[in-house]
Chains A and B, each alone.
Chain A
Amino acid sequence: MEAEKVIQTVDLSKHFGDFIACNAISFEVFKGEIFGFLGANGAGKTTAMKMLCGLSAPSSGKATIAGFDIYKQTEAIKKRIGYMSQKFSLYEDLSVLENIEFFGGIYGLSQQEIKQRGQQLIDQLGLADVAKNMVGSLPLGWKQKLAFSVASLHDPEIIFLDEPTGGVDPVTRRQFWDLIYAASVRGITVFVTTHYMDEAEYCHRVSIMVDGEIKALDTPENLKKQFQVDSMEDVFFELARGAQRLGD
């Protein structure tokens, strides 16, 4: 049985004038997979991810998300994806519950669904005591976990996470990855960019971008074998060393 392809790109490119941020990238991501999207700063990860989420129009190439075309069927795609950006992006002046209500509401969940899933989410994250507190008053690690849960509130097929664990302590990062695994088990595909190489090890498959191109794509095991090194960190160094672009 062949796994269902939820993301498929063919020669997807993005130019900003003469600058090629993303140069003909092609890859596939399967249902329920945790796909690590690695690369140094300025390698083009965020640009690629924004194209896939519909935040940025591709210059050329093809891509489908959950079977829908990213040029023509953006509305259908938007309903089926969740997105968590690099910046913390819940409303800090709204309480935990109000944020849940708002994001549930804009994804068209019914009052009942919002109540039920919101309660479940709060119990799961152990936020019952602070549910009525403003999000701005929570510690960063809690906020990030909450942001992830809110992004998956509407049961998307794919969640895009753009460096979700930046600035978060190791324990919370571990908890965050537990959430990602739980989502993956439920059949949600997780597309994640990260700078932490230990996190790369947690992914089912990883791709490594250098200078706007995908230079390697395989399971962490296979990549380590291919480059004859012991860790993903060394794989990354091997590839990134040849980068022409300086990090930003």
Chain B
Amino acid sequence: MNQFITFIKKEFYHVFRDGKTLLMLFGLPIVQIVLFGFALSNEIKNAKMMILDQAKDASSQQIIERFAASPYFQIEKTINHEAAIEPSFLKGNIKMALILPANLDQDLNHTGTAAVQLLLDASDPNAANTLNGYASSILNSFQQERMLNSKLPLQLTPQIRMLYNPELKGAPTFVPGVMALVLMLVCVLMTSISIVKEKELGTMEILLVSPVNPFLLIIAKAVPYLGLSLINLAIILTLSVTLLDMPIHGSLLLLIAESTLLIITALSLGLLISNVTNSQQAAMLIAILAMMIPTLLFTGFMFPIENMPLPLQWISNLIPAKWYYIIAKSIMIKGLGFAAIWKETLILLGMTVFLLFLSFKKFKTRLE
């Protein structure tokens, strides 16, 4: 036990005296969560639009007011001629144009129907789709309100409810993914360097000649990073909640426990990389190529896994972050308990045990 404490103490000295490591350990997650959290949002705000108001009556005025009040749109100009629309699209000045027909008020009052035109710049189809959604919902709400006040028979319009994320906010879907990515990146990178560093410096030889139990050596390497990663987790969670408006509907304790499991998985992977490589560069390269890129691709928060070809879907099952992403989403957004995520938890646990077993197996007690 004394040996173990001696070891852990030494590892902490290493970490705290290496400014670069510390910066990477705490700076990286903060930068990433802020950067990814804001940059990876598919939310569109203040999209510029034009309105051609041919009606100029009460109804058209109401619709225009609604668009003006929406945070998603910014009315660039209200125009009188259709001819002004296309040049603005071509110049990229606007993303959407709304054309309100003449006699809008009359049509609505007498026939109950009116055709409004939405023109969207579909050269960016995703943005066009999103804007279409926003605009339709504004028009729908206008229509509903009108119906309440009219004596005409009630007309059923399809209603779409966005479950769990009604405002289609960007943060809820991305944050758990970014959390998975950041935890994986930091933990794998840090630990993968730690053992290999001793090999490079030659101190590993001294440790191997000493009576230190190799099992102890590996665990002692991981313990400080586990502690630091938990602090990191606290920072990430705080930033997500305060800065990115990320809700935590489920149990915070459960979320922390599951995150700890992912951290241990990542540490085990880092140790394994460290044990099979001989230089810090190689370890880092493997950590980034073999871990970060697949994590980005296969976790599911950037590219939906359901749309991938089957073989890629199988591969995605090997990525620990994918399972954590499902778990974190379930807890944070849906507010589910352990009963809903025990399968994913078991898979992560299995991966951790397997990786740890492999790193012990690969740890060479004799240098050849």
> Which chain A residues border B205 with CB–CB below 8 Å?
55, 83, 85, 87, 89
Interface membership of A239, Cβ < 8 A? no
> What is the CB-to-nearest-CB distance from A21 to chain B, in angstroms, rounded to a whole number?
11
> Which chain B residues border A84 with CB–CB below 8 Å?
206
> What is the CB-to-nearest-CB distance from A32 to chain B, in angstroms, rounded to a whole number?
21
> Which chain A residues border B9 with CB–CB below 8 Å?
101-102
Query: CA separation between A132 and B13, bound complex, in Å?
Result: 13
Contact with B along A100-139 (1 / 0, CB 8 A): 0111011110000000000000000000000000100000
* Chain A, residue nearest B17 (CB): A93
Report whether B366 and A107 are in contact in the complex, using a CB–CB cutoff of 8 Å: no
Query: CA separation between A98 and B13, bound complex, in Å?
Result: 9
With contacts A89-B202, A93-B13 known, is A54 near B210, CB below 8 A?
no
Which residue from B6, B208, B367, B368 sits with its C-beta under 8 Å from A102?
B6
Query: CA separation between A226 and B66, bound complex, in Å?
Result: 108
Give chain A interface residues in 167-226, CB to chain B under 8 Å: none
Contact with A along B180-215 (1 / 0, CB 8 A): 000000000000000000000111011111111000
Grouping DSSP codes into helix (H, G, I), strand (E, B) and loop, the B interface class, with mixed when no group exceeds half, is: helix
Report whether A91 and B203 are in contact in the complex, using a CB–CB cutoff of 8 Å: yes
Interface membership of A43, Cβ < 8 A? no
Contact with B along A42-57 (1 / 0, CB 8 A): 0000000010011111
Interface membership of A237, Cβ < 8 A? no
Report whether B18 and A85 are in contact in the complex, using a CB–CB cutoff of 8 Å: no
Return the 7 tightest CB-CB contacts between A and B, nearest first.
A105-B6, A87-B202, A83-B209, A78-B211, A89-B202, A93-B17, A89-B206
Could you show 27 A-B contacts with beta carbons less than 8 Å apart? A50-B367, A54-B208, A54-B366, A55-B208, A55-B366, A56-B367, A57-B366, A57-B368, A83-B206, A84-B206, A85-B205, A85-B206, A90-B203, A91-B203, A93-B14, A93-B18, A94-B13, A98-B10, A101-B9, A102-B10, A103-B206, A103-B210, A105-B5, A106-B7, A106-B207, A107-B211, A108-B3
Known: A75-B211, A87-B201, A105-B3. 7 other contacts (CB 8 A): A55-B209, A81-B209, A85-B202, A90-B203, A102-B6, A106-B3, A106-B211
- B residues neighboring A (CB under 8 Å): 2-3, 5-7, 9-10, 13-14, 17-18, 201-203, 205-212, 366-368
